[in-house]
Amino acid sequence: MPAVSKGDGMRGLAVFISDIRNCKSKEAEIKRINKELANIRSKFKGDKALDGYSKKKYVCKLLFIFLLGHDIDFGHMEAVNLLSSNKYTEKQIGYLFISVLVNSNSELIRLINNAIKNDLSSRNPTFMCLALHCIANVGSREMAEAFAGEIPRILVAGDTMDSVKQSAALCLLRLYKASPDLVLMGEWTSRVVHLLNDQHMGVVTAAISLITCLSSKNPDEFKTCVSLAVSRLSRIVSSASTDLQDYTYYFVPAPWLSCKLLRLLQCYPPPEDGAVKGRLVECLETILNKAQEPPKSKKVQHSNAKNAILFEAISLIIHYDSEPNLLVRACNQLGQFLQHRETNLRYLALESMCTLASSEFSHEAVKTHIETVINALKTERDVSVRQRAADLLYAMCDRSNAKQIVAEMLSYLETADYSIREEMVLKVAILAEKYAVDYSWYVDTILNLIRIAGDYVSEEVWYRVIQIVINRDDVQGYAAKTVFEALQAPACHENMVKVGGYILGEFGNLIAGDPRSSPLVQFNLLHSKFHLCSVPTRALLLSAYIKFINLFPETKATIQEVLRSDSQIRNSDVELQQRAVEYLKLSSIASTDVLATVLEEMPPFPERESSILAKLKKKKGPGAVSVELEDGKERGELNGGGDRGGDAAIAASNASTPSPSADLLGLRSAAPVSGAAPSAGSLLVDVFSEAGPAAASAGVNDDGFLRFVCKNNGVLFENQLLQIGIKSEYRQNLGRMYLFYGNKTSVQFVSFSTTVSCPGELQSQLNVQTKTVEPLVEGGAQVQQVINIECLTDFVDAPLLNIKFRYGGALQNISLKLPVTINKFFQPTEMAAADFFQRWKQLSQPQQEAQKIFKASHGMDTEVLKAKLLGLGTALLENVDPNPENYVCAGVIQTKAQQVGCLLRLEPNAQAQVRTRARAHTQMYMHTHTQMYMHIHTQSPSVLLCAALIASLTAVCVFLCAAANQAWRAGNTQLALFSLALFLSHSPPLSFTPFFHFLIHFSPHIDSTLSH
């Protein structure tokens, strides 16, 4: 680099800067700057040309003024002129100004690009470097467009200087990060990879950053780099500290390069080639060995460099997860760091150990450090380190040490920081549940938890304990006893009262034999807490009281007295008042056997993923999912991966919206939402993944698809950025679809484009024409697209809609199935019964019939089912089938090639398999007779649902009775009443008279429900 010559001092600039520094006030500074700007303007305007030196000086001043925070709107031209100067300093200042103040002025950009091009093609390495730095600093798309082709050539050319190669590699990296689509390596790939063999360490260091970035995007192309990287690494690792001269940093050979090499290797699985692998393992061993050696220097830089390599090596070992020997050694190494003086090291050690704990090879090794970790949790000064220690304890916990760890965490909880308390509580709750060998221990732990950190115990935790107590007969008595004892403390947390109220309400009878916990004592104990509690808890306690009436008839008078008191029956809170009134009436009117049925013990809850686990996942964010994955595996859960876990978390959080009726099971959210529920376990997950916003933007998204089988208008897709509405109309074999793309953000979408494609043979079956949309969608605006569809012949698949746009520079790509299904081209046909059956019989060949038997799981009414069938496009034929429960439809599918007549029967069959929650398992037969194989979308969850509803109508009274009972006891009075009313209005023989009484006396609002 040429030395700064003596004449380049720029005295004027120095004077100006010192003037500014000496200004006493902001006003004075502004005055001085205004004066200088006027001076520069007059100089630039002046007729006589400025020489390079003064031009440089003034541009410098402008730059300085700009950096002080003032706007500069001139001088760009002069700066560009400086670029073509032959003096290094002038060129440098020119580039500096351009990099700082570049704006997208088209003509200037052209000039700048020209100057850069000249410099790149010059043979002068300093000029080339300047130009490359400028490109990298600006890094705009225009720059990428202009130079993305040129730079790789410079990078791999044989005669390029090393320093230029370094700059070129980093410049290319920058351009690739800014606009990956423009930087195409293609032919250069192998030559870039071979830069790893370069003589010059600087070039290798620069190149490896580029290769790491490129290979993380397309690993296959750069596969060859693994062996090169390994050999390079082994050369560095095995070299003596003096071999690398300039690249030895405090006795550590090339630490940065080593770290980068190790990081690059983390992009790939372990090398398959045995020799390479052996060499790599050797390297890693050497690194681990070196960590054991006494330090060569006392300086902190030395140990920092050494530890950086070590940690990178350990994360590579963890990444490979295949070398038990190395894993254990890594673990031991980290164990040493656990007691290191340096806080950062302790933090890193704990963090790495967390991941080590999840590996089967090193889990045991990690467990040996349990004492140290517990100690860290207790004595560590830094809260973030304590947090890591808690994480690690959680990760290393298994059946053998669960009791110890849980006990330690509980005892720590009393002094824990507020910031991590809630998480700690969740962890304790999960561990206690997961590794509980004996459930009385579990109950003790959780009650302790509520006692110690009641405020941080979220709803999910106590829901869970109740679920478990109810599902396990063996602990119920113990739980009741423990709860009773816990409640005797003078100050109880409200969560404790909730648990107590619930459990005593259910199982108070199990401890009633003891005179110390006789029914009346239990009731008085609960009621003494009543006035200190919030409304939802009071509501729960009222439910517990009515259960007491059932359990212990002797308390009836006392409880009725309480319910009758003004503070209950005239409570200003509607929920409390309603409960008080209804319970009072129920207890005074219903006979004991009715009471016993209504207030029966809660049936076991369906097993499903612990909602607490979901909550913890949500709290920790997607990054923590890897740790939790193991849990998923262990429980054999349906929850197959990170994405679904996230959904579950959302589901759980939605389900736990605070509701006064203490919605234990997420009942409320589950019942009214239409959606298929193949298994109870994934109920929430599925419901919400359908109704919630579609998170994944990659891959074909058919969340919204099924909803449109029986529906023509609605919202097809929605995420944080975009909403797609759909409106469609069909006539004969023609259809027209209006798509509305709404930009939900305030930023415009650029290069917005949509394409509709028909995959495979659909191309010949469906003719789809689209009109192009505007490429620009303003923030908050909506654009419309019209799609014309012609059905040529029958089809199976649906066309794909692909949307591409840029939002804030990032390319968004969304693929959706367009809801075009064959039933859209149905033409309803009316026919008489005789006619129908004649045709039905005609179509008797096997290939003319498609039959689908499926289970339905939701209750619903006939009207909805009818609406669904009409939505399918067929005509619903009344009074055709001799069995009034069956549904019969007919229609003609219109295609260009032919018209297909189609008959359809839906035969709901209620084999009353009584389940809770007004959900019946019914079987349903459906025949569709067509001339050819047909896909009627009866898989659609909506139709499934319809079936469930019909089932609920035909089910026996007992079933509905239990359903109502269930819903009502869970606190959802409204739902219970509704299902009862539904039942009453639809099934004429009223066999269960007590219920009728109960309904009549219940509350006035039932009248309106009954009236229809």
| Binding region | 11-12, 43, 53, 57-61
Q: Which is nearer to other proteins, 45 or 123 (CB)?
A: 45
Among 35, 399, 731, 771, binds other proteins (CB under 8 A): 35
Q: Which is nearer to other proteins, 42 or 379 (CB)?
A: 42
Classified as helix, coil or strand, 264 is helix
Q: Does 103 bind other proteins (CB under 8 A)?
A: yes
At which residue do the structure tokens 């964010």 appear?
621
Q: Does 73 bind other proteins (CB under 8 A)?
A: yes
> For residue 19, what are its two tokens?
């003037």
Q: Which is nearer to other proteins, 17 or 407 (CB)?
A: 17
Q: Does 24 bind other proteins (CB under 8 A)?
A: yes
Q: Which is nearer to other proteins, 105 or 764 (CB)?
A: 105
Nearest to 177 by CA among 815, 809, 923: 809
Q: Does 104 bind other proteins (CB under 8 A)?
A: no
Name the one range near other proteins by CB under 8 A: 31-39, 483-491, 948-956, 973-981. 31-39
Three-state SS for 628-657 is HHHHHHHCCCCCCCHHHHHHHHHHHHHHCC
Q: Which is nearer to other proteins, 70 or 711 (CB)?
A: 70
Measured between its terminal Cα atoms, the distance across the chain in Å is 93
Q: Does 22 bind other proteins (CB under 8 A)?
A: no
Q: Which is nearer to other proteins, 58 or 502 (CB)?
A: 58
250: CB partners within 8 A, 6+ apart? 296, 297, 299, 301, 302, 305
Classified as helix, coil or strand, 698 is coil
CA angle 903, 909, 911 (to 5 degrees): 165
d(CA 138, CA 116): 12
**Within 13 Å and on the Cβ side, how many CA atoms surround 601?**
18
Q: Which is nearer to other proteins, 39 or 577 (CB)?
A: 39
Q: Does 67 bind other proteins (CB under 8 A)?
A: no
Supply the minimum distance, in Å, between the C-beta of residue 69 and other proteins: 8
Supply the minimum distance, in Å, between the C-beta of residue 105 and other proteins: 5
Name the one range near other proteins by CB under 8 A: 6-14, 72-80, 181-189, 482-490. 72-80
Among 39, 224, 723, 745, binds other proteins (CB under 8 A): 39
Supply the minimum distance, in Å, between the C-beta of residue 25 and other proteins: 5
CA distances, 86 to each of 53, 119, 800, 811, 843 (Å): 12, 10, 58, 41, 91
- The DSSP secondary structure of 355-393, one letter per residue, reads HHHTSTTTHHHHHTTHHHHHHHHHH-S-HHHHHHHHHHH
Q: Which is nearer to other proteins, 35 or 633 (CB)?
A: 35
Q: Does 1005 bind other proteins (CB under 8 A)?
A: no
Supply the minimum distance, in Å, between the C-beta of residue 57 and other proteins: 17
Q: What are phi and psi of 379, to 5 degrees?
A: -110, -15
Supply the minimum distance, in Å, between the C-beta of residue 14 and other proteins: 20
Q: Does 76 bind other proteins (CB under 8 A)?
A: yes
How many helices (H) does the chain have, and how many strands (E)? 46, 18
Among 4, 15, 22, 41, binds other proteins (CB under 8 A): 41
Q: Does 110 bind other proteins (CB under 8 A)?
A: no
Q: Which is nearer to other proteins, 70 or 527 (CB)?
A: 70
d(CA 409, CA 324): 29
Q: Which of residues 502-521 bind other proteins (CB under 8 A)?
A: none
- Per-residue x/- marks for other proteins, 753-782, CB under 8 A? ------------------------------
Supply the minimum distance, in Å, between the C-beta of residue 109 and other proteins: 12
Single-letter residue type at 324: P
d(CA 388, CA 394): 10
Q: Which is nearer to other proteins, 24 or 516 (CB)?
A: 24
CA angle 196, 201, 207 (to 5 degrees): 45
Q: Does 37 bind other proteins (CB under 8 A)?
A: yes
Q: Which of residues 571-590 bind other proteins (CB under 8 A)?
A: none
Supply the minimum distance, in Å, between the C-beta of residue 409 and other proteins: 37
**Within 13 Å and on the Cβ side, how many CA atoms surround 752?**
24
Q: Does 418 bind other proteins (CB under 8 A)?
A: no
d(CA 953, CA 860): 8
Among 14, 15, 38, 832, binds other proteins (CB under 8 A): 38
Among 5, 9, 68, 74, binds other proteins (CB under 8 A): 74
Q: Which is nearer to other proteins, 31 or 570 (CB)?
A: 31
Pairing type for strands 810-817 and 700-701 reads parallel
Q: Which is nearer to other proteins, 80 or 350 (CB)?
A: 80
Q: Which is nearer to other proteins, 70 or 927 (CB)?
A: 70
Q: Tell me, what DSSP letter sits at residue 703? A: T
At which residue do the structure tokens 């730095």 appear?
133
Q: Does 105 bind other proteins (CB under 8 A)?
A: yes
Q: Which is nearer to other proteins, 69 or 274 (CB)?
A: 69
d(CA 382, CA 341): 13
Name the one range near other proteins by CB under 8 A: 21-29, 149-157, 675-683, 851-859. 21-29
> For residue 496, what are its two tokens?
């404790």
Name the one range near other proteins by CB under 8 A: 20-28, 149-157, 369-377, 695-703. 20-28
Alpha carbon 843 to chain centroid, angstroms: 50
At which residue do the structure tokens 């009836």 appear?
556
Supply the minimum distance, in Å, between the C-beta of residue 113 and other proteins: 17
Element housing 902 (H / E): strand 899-914
Q: Which is nearer to other proteins, 31 or 217 (CB)?
A: 31
Supply the minimum distance, in Å, between the C-beta of residue 56 and other proteins: 19
Name the one range near other proteins by CB under 8 A: 34-42, 249-257, 392-400, 595-603. 34-42
CA distances, 459 to each of 80, 411, 455, 496, 652 (Å): 65, 22, 10, 11, 11
**Rg over CA atoms, the chain:** 37
Q: Tell me, what DSSP letter sits at residue 777? A: B
Q: Does 21 bind other proteins (CB under 8 A)?
A: no
**Per this entry, what is the length of the chain?**
1012
Name the one range near other proteins by CB under 8 A: 37-45, 480-488, 834-842, 878-886. 37-45
**Within 13 Å and on the Cβ side, how many CA atoms surround 35?**
9
Name the one range near other proteins by CB under 8 A: 42-50, 166-174, 513-521, 923-931. 42-50
> For residue 719, what are its two tokens?
């995420």
Among 20, 44, 742, 837, binds other proteins (CB under 8 A): 44
CA distances, 230 to each of 169, 258, 312, 320 (Å): 21, 10, 14, 14
Q: Tell me, what DSSP letter sits at residue 743? A: E
Among 5, 22, 34, 679, binds other proteins (CB under 8 A): 34
Name the one range near other proteins by CB under 8 A: 6-14, 32-40, 232-240, 950-958. 32-40
Q: Which residues pair with 577 in a beta bridge?
A: none
- The DSSP secondary structure of 849-870, one letter per residue, reads EEE--EEE-----HHHHHHHHH
Q: Does 140 bind other proteins (CB under 8 A)?
A: no
Size of the site for other proteins (CB under 8 A): 22
Q: Does 108 bind other proteins (CB under 8 A)?
A: yes
Residues near other proteins, by CB under 8 A: 24-26, 31-32, 34-35, 37-39, 41-42, 44-45, 69, 71, 73-74, 76, 103, 105, 108
